[in-house]
Amino acid sequence: MEKQFLEIKNIEKVTHNVLEFTLEDSEVIDFVPGQAAEVAIDKDGWRDKGNPFTFTSLPPEDHLEFTIKIYPDHECVTEELSKLEVGDRLILKDVFGAIEYKGKGTFIAGGAGVTPFISIIRNLDKKGKLDGNRLIFANSKEIDIINKKEFESMLGEDFLNILSREKVEAHAHGRIDTEYLKNNITSLDDYFYVCGPEAMMNAVEDSLKELGVKKDQIVKEVF
């Protein structure tokens, strides 16, 4: 795919450190829900500094969307993204990603690792095929939960949150370990979609295998 220079049409604050960027559409870009693109900023000094970000829009829509966690303490692409305004441009390069929906299952996300699941879950909801799927979302604090109201609306009781650094009555406290998974997954025969920090993904995969889940049932992002 040739580089696509796309104008930012809207920037919206999702949480205290997550921004949603809406871009103009491109007829050249083809992706499936769950995939990402290499994204760079069309400014001097930044055009060759691409980072992978997941599409959170749906393929048929008349725009492209990315939901991106900002790391202001790092001198990196996300900090520079936080300085952009409507009318600035992003450069989209390769489309890639290992996470693709294969069938009913449990989505297990840590922090910004939920972004590949946003498009997948929205797509399933739009097609009326969301029943039987569940999202387990791990964060530090409640304010970190991305798209909380939307997930609650789409998934209802199948949207489960666990917080590691805050105790809130409505959510579990701790980390996603073997015992938590044993008590909160719907079926060991389902698919398990895992995305988040690499250490978290490895720990979740080990726990799933300990519970008897087969390797080919686990779909995770590859770094």
Token pair of 74 as six digits: 């790092």
- Do 118 and 87 reside in the same domain of the chain? no
- Do 74 and 20 reside in the same domain of the chain? yes
Neighbour count for residue 36 (Cβ, 10 Å): 21
If one counts the domains in the chain, the total is 2
How far is 8 from 66, CA to CA, in rounded Å?
11
User: Which of 49, 65, 96 is the endpoint of a domain?
Assistant: 96
pLDDT tens digit sequence for 12-55: 999 999 999 999 999 899 999 999 999 999 999 999 999 999 99
Residue 57 belongs to domain spanning: 4-96
pLDDT surpasses 60 at 88: yes
User: Which of 96, 120, 147 is the endpoint of a domain?
Assistant: 96
Residue 76: what pLDDT? 87
Q: What confidence category does residue 74 fall into, taking pLDDT thresholds of 50, 70 and 90?
A: low
How far is 160 from 106, CA to CA, in rounded Å?
11
Q: Indicate which CATH number applies to the domain containing 213.
A: 3.40.50.80
Mean pLDDT of the 53-81 span = 92
How far is 222 from 21, CA to CA, in rounded Å?
24
How far is 91 from 49, CA to CA, in rounded Å?
10
Residue 98: what pLDDT? 79
User: Which of 96, 128, 150 is the endpoint of a domain?
Assistant: 96
pLDDT tens digit sequence for 111-155: 999 999 999 999 999 999 999 999 999 999 999 999 999 999 999
